[in-house]
Amino acid sequence: AGILDPHAIRRDFPILDERVHNKRLVWLDNAATTQKPRAVIDRLSYFYEHENSNIHRAAHALAARATDAYEAAREATRRFINAPSTREIVFVRGTTEGINLIAQSWGRRNVGPGDEIVITWLEHHANIVPWQQLCSEKGARLRVAPVDDRGQVILEEYEKLLGPRTRIVSITQVSNALGTITPAREMVAMAHRHGARVIVDGAQAVSHMRADVQLLDCDFYVFSGHKVFGPTGIGAVFGKSEVLDAMPPWQGGGNMIADVTFERTIYHPPPARFEAGTGNIADAVGLGAALDYVTRIGIENIGRYEHELLHYATHALASVPGLRLIGTAADKAGVLSFVLDGQRTEDVGGALDREGIAVRSGHHCAQPILRRFGLESTVRASLAPYNTCEDIDALVDALHRIQIGRSR
Ligand code: PMP
C-alpha cells in the first residue's frame, strides 16, 4: 500500500477486463506468463504500421527504422540488466533457447570427460536437460546442490560440490516452483573461486527484483521477455564480452557472417555471431517497450509491493483447512505453491478456473524439486504488480468453498 497503486497498473492491462466463465478474471498465473500492458501492444502495432522491414540498415528508409528500433531494444535490455555493453546482449527466443545456446557453444568447447557441471535441486527443466545432454555427449558429470525443507539451497553443501573439475555452474535466481530467491551473488563468487563459469537463470527474477549482472558478477544471465510483460518468442542472453568473444557460433546462416566463400566463413563478432537468420525483430522491440514500462513503475517498487502481497497471501492461505504451503524460504518472490489435503491439484485448478481464477496446477517443469517434497504436482498462484488483495481474497474464499464442498 502506498508503494504503487495496483488499480492504476491494472488499467494499463486491457486483458484484465476480460470475463471468463462469466466471472471477473483473476490472473494468478504470472510465473507461467505475464500479461501485456497497452504500451507493449501499441509498440507492436506501431512497428508493423510504420517500421516493418528486415534489418539491413543501409538498404532503405524502413530498413533503417527497423534496425534502429531493434538496436534501441538491445540498449533497453542492456540498461535493464545493467550490462556494460550492448555487444554483450544476444537476442534469443527465451530462457530455454538461451541456456541451450550456452550449453552448445560454450559448453561443447569447454567441457570434457570427467568435468563437472553444478546445478541446484530448484532448477526448471530448461536448466537441467541441456546440461544432461552435454554431459552425456562429453562424458561429464552433473552434480546437484540440495535444498533444505523450506526450499532454500544449502550453501555449505553447494560449496562442497565445487572443485577443480567444475566447469559450469548454472543456477536459478528465483525458483518458478517455490518462489525461493537463491543467494545467487554468493553462489557466483564461490564458483569463481574454483574457476568455473556461472550462468544465472533470471526467468523468474526479472519481473520481481533488480537484475544487475555486474553486481551478480555472473558470466551469463538469461531471461524470457514474456515473463516480464513482453511478447512471447523473445528473450536475451547476457554474456561477458571476454567470454562471448571466445565462443564459436551456435547456428550458421545469414546475419552472423562477415564474409562467406565455399572454403571458409568469417563470422561477425558478438552479438551478431549468435543471431543467425532473421530475428524476432518486432517482439524484440516489444520487449524493449516492456522493460521501459517496468522501469517507469520502478522494479524496486514492484518488488516491495509484491513482497507485501506475498505476506498477505501467505497469512490468508494459512486459514484454509488442510492447505500445505510448499516452499517457505525466508527470501521468496511472487510464488505461492500449495496442496490441499485430500484434493487432486488438477481438480483444485479446475474448480478455481470455474470461478475465473487462473492458477497453474502441475509440475511446473520442475519435477525434481516437487519430488524433493514428496509431490508430483502443486497448485501455484503467482503474483504481478496488477494483483490486489481482492485477488488473494477471491482465491482464498474459493479454496474455502472447495474444502467445504469436500467435507459435505
Ligand atoms: N527457467 C525458469 C526458472 C522458468 O520459470 C522458465 C519458464 N517457466 C524457464 C526457465 C523457461 O523459460 P521459457 O519457457 O520462456 O524458455
Which DSSP category does 247 fall into? Answer: P
Q: What is the CATH number of domain 41-296?
A: 3.40.640.10
Give the ligand 1 atom nearest the CA of 98: 16
- Asked whether the beta carbons of 348 and 318 are under 8 A apart, the reply is no
- Asked whether the beta carbons of 171 and 141 are under 8 A apart, the reply is no
pLDDT computed for residue 57 by the predictor = 75
pLDDT computed for residue 1 by the predictor = 47
Please list the alpha-helical segments (H only) found in 200-344.
213-216, 241-245, 281-297, 299-317
Average pLDDT over residues 302-325: 97
Which DSSP category does 388 fall into? Answer: -
Residue 400 scores a pLDDT above 90: yes
Q: Which of 135, 218, 365, 389 is catalytic?
A: 365
Measure 126 CA to ligand 1 centroid, in angstroms: 6
This complex has an ipTM of 0.99
Residue 121 is which amino acid? Answer: W
Measure 336 CA to ligand 1 centroid, in angstroms: 17
pLDDT computed for residue 408 by the predictor = 52
Exposure string over 269-279, b if 16+ CB within 10 A, otherwise e: ebbbbbbbeeb
pLDDT tens, residue by residue, 339-391: 999 999 999 999 999 999 999 999 999 999 999 999 999 999 999 999 999 99
**How many residues are present in the chain?**
408
- Asked whether the beta carbons of 37 and 386 are under 8 A apart, the reply is no
Measure 130 CA to ligand 1 centroid, in angstroms: 13
| Cell numbers standing for residue 238 | 547476457
Measure 95 CA to ligand 1 centroid, in angstroms: 6
**Judging by beta carbons within 10 Å of its beta carbon (0-12, 13-18, 19+), is residue 213 exposed, middle or buried?**
buried
pLDDT computed for residue 377 by the predictor = 97
Mutate to test the pocket of ligand 1, among 204, 228, 337, 370 (most ligand atoms within 8 A of CB): 204
pLDDT tens, residue by residue, 162-199: 999 999 999 999 999 999 999 999 999 999 999 999 99
Which DSSP category does 359 fall into? Answer: -
Residues of the chain above pLDDT 90, percent: 97
- Asked whether the beta carbons of 175 and 204 are under 8 A apart, the reply is yes
Give the ligand 1 atom nearest the CA of 224: 15
Measure 366 CA to ligand 1 centroid, in angstroms: 10
How many whole angstroms separate alpha carbon 203 and alpha carbon 7? 25
**6-30+298-407 matches 41-296 in fold:** no
pLDDT computed for residue 2 by the predictor = 66
pTM of the complete model beyond 0.90: yes
- Picking from 60, 29, 98, 114, the residue whose alpha carbon sits closest to that of residue 337 is 29
pLDDT computed for residue 225 by the predictor = 98
Angle at 39 between CA 33 and CA 40, to 5 degrees: 45
Domain spans of the chain?
Answer: 6-30+298-407, 41-296
How many whole angstroms separate alpha carbon 117 and alpha carbon 251? 23
Is 365 in the active site? Answer: yes
Give the ligand 1 atom nearest the CA of 365: 8
pLDDT tens, residue by residue, 7-39: 999 999 999 999 999 999 999 999 999 999 999
Lining ligand 1 with CB less than 6 A are 94-96, 124, 126-127, 172, 176, 201, 203-204, 224, 365
Strands of the sheet with 220-224, listed across from one edge: 89-92, 235-239, 220-224, 197-201, 166-172, 116-120, 141-145
Architecture of the domain whose range is 6-30+298-407: Alpha-Beta Complex (3.90)
Residue 368, phi-psi category: left (phi > 0), alpha (psi -120 to 50), beta (remainder): alpha
Residue 117 scores a pLDDT above 90: yes
Please list the alpha-helical segments (H only) found in 140-298.
155-161, 184-193, 213-216, 241-245, 281-297
Residues sharing a CB contact under 8 Å with residue 63, sequence separation 6 or more, in sequence order:
53, 54, 55, 56, 57
Quickly tell me which residue has 573461486 as its cell.
Answer: 193
- Picking from 353, 383, 362, the residue whose alpha carbon sits closest to that of residue 25 is 353
Give the ligand 1 atom nearest the CA of 227: 15
